[in-house]
Copies of this chain bind each other. A is one copy, B any other.
Amino acid sequence: MPTFPTLNPPVRVLMGPGPSDTHPRVLQALAKGTVGHLDPYYLEIMNGLQEMLRMLFRTKNQMTMAISGTGSAGMEATVVNLIEPGDSMIVCVNGVFGGRMLDVAQRAGATVTKVERPWGEVFTPADLKAALASAKPKVVGIVMAETSTGAYQPIEEISKVVHEAGALLLVDAVTALGGVPVEVDGWNIDAIYSGTQKCLSCPPGLSPTSFSPRAMDVIMNRKTKVQSWYLDVSMLANYWGQNRVYHHTGPINMTWGLYEALCLIHEEGLENCFARHLRNHRALKGGLAAIGIKYSAQEGHQLPMLNAVTVPEGVDDAAVRSALLTRFGIEIGAGLGAYNGKVWRIGLMGFGSRPANVLLFLSALEQLLAEQKYRFTSGASVAAANESYGKGA
């Protein structure tokens, strides 16, 4: 009989593209006793969770819930419920996650029109006009916070042209939700999904989602069954709605975690939470600028919670990331796809978005850059970050 090591995870500072640091209160919530998925107490917590999600998504959508899977399951749920075989869909691709949505849409049988922008850039309504006219899509999918590039996509103006063309708007808010304002009703978003492991200070495993009444009309009037039984929103609506009809067994303890995570956000206040993400982003950016490190996403469209920066000339990407992890316990993200070896992705998400992490990271990075003979003014990054905090920026 082989023996297996006792579970003792190392203590990490999670500053990559997610998962981010789980808040201690959320860890404790995960460990609370399991109850049944039809237990009156569980149903009450589901109600509270839905209400808090509606506040976070800024929506009145009845069909607001957590899908029992990670953010990618949320992506699949929104796509396969809205799309029937042969439907036309436009997917906006400027990074890995737009590309993933395109793949999901094709597997759902959509006729997909791909609209592209270079990595790190964002879409304007003009970029979509020609495709909207020719494809006459049922759905347009777009990523609000492209985690592979750090680009921050404005949604409101895009939504207008999408709806003028008679299409539904589907938004990936995996990394956005909880870090920047997401106005589901204000921007007229029809379907949206997120993940728990980014700005919600919760481990990965659930996907908050919301569907507008218009999207629900489309779903309830499909000609064909949704290809996924597990993600079929018409059945999930019966479990998350008033009827509470058993569908699949809810992930009880992860639900405790998400509930606690949402309580934390509402205690802090949404606006305070967004301001905190921005403040720490500005301090980090100021610190990096002081030692000559530049952001790779388009200026003016950089995400506060996911800081994608260009690996400086002559610096060994993998060696720096590895030393950050092994010597300082800090995880940052490598570049994905086209950005492999060229970009670092530094997350300041949820509980992880705090001055202590910004200062620790800059100090550790300076040490490693010095060892790699990168030329910069020692201490400049930390001084600039502190100055940024001093300004109340």
- A-side interface residues toward B, CB under 8 Å? 1-2, 4-12, 14, 16, 18-19, 21-22, 27-37, 39, 41-42, 44-45, 48, 51-52, 68-73, 75-76, 100, 103-104, 106-108, 195, 197, 203-205, 225-230, 246-254, 256-257, 259-260, 262-263, 266, 269, 325, 331, 336
Contacts and interface: CB of A to CB of B under 8 A. Distances in A.
B14 A36 contact: yes
Contacts of A246: 336
A355 to B, nearest CB: 20
B52 A34 contact: no
A30 B203 CA distance: 10
B229 A107 contact: yes
Given A33-B22, A73-B69, A251 B104 contact: no
Grouping DSSP codes into helix (H, G, I), strand (E, B) and loop, the A interface class, with mixed when no group exceeds half, is loop
Contacts of A4: 48, 51-52, 259, 262-263, 266
A30 B69 CA distance: 17
A296 to B, nearest CB: 19
B48 A34 contact: no
23 contacts: A4-B266, A7-B32, A7-B263, A9-B35, A9-B41, A9-B45, A10-B41, A11-B33, A12-B34, A14-B34, A27-B34, A37-B204, A69-B73, A69-B230, A70-B248, A70-B249, A70-B251, A76-B228, A106-B225, A107-B227, A205-B254, A228-B228, A246-B336
A246 to B, nearest CB: 8
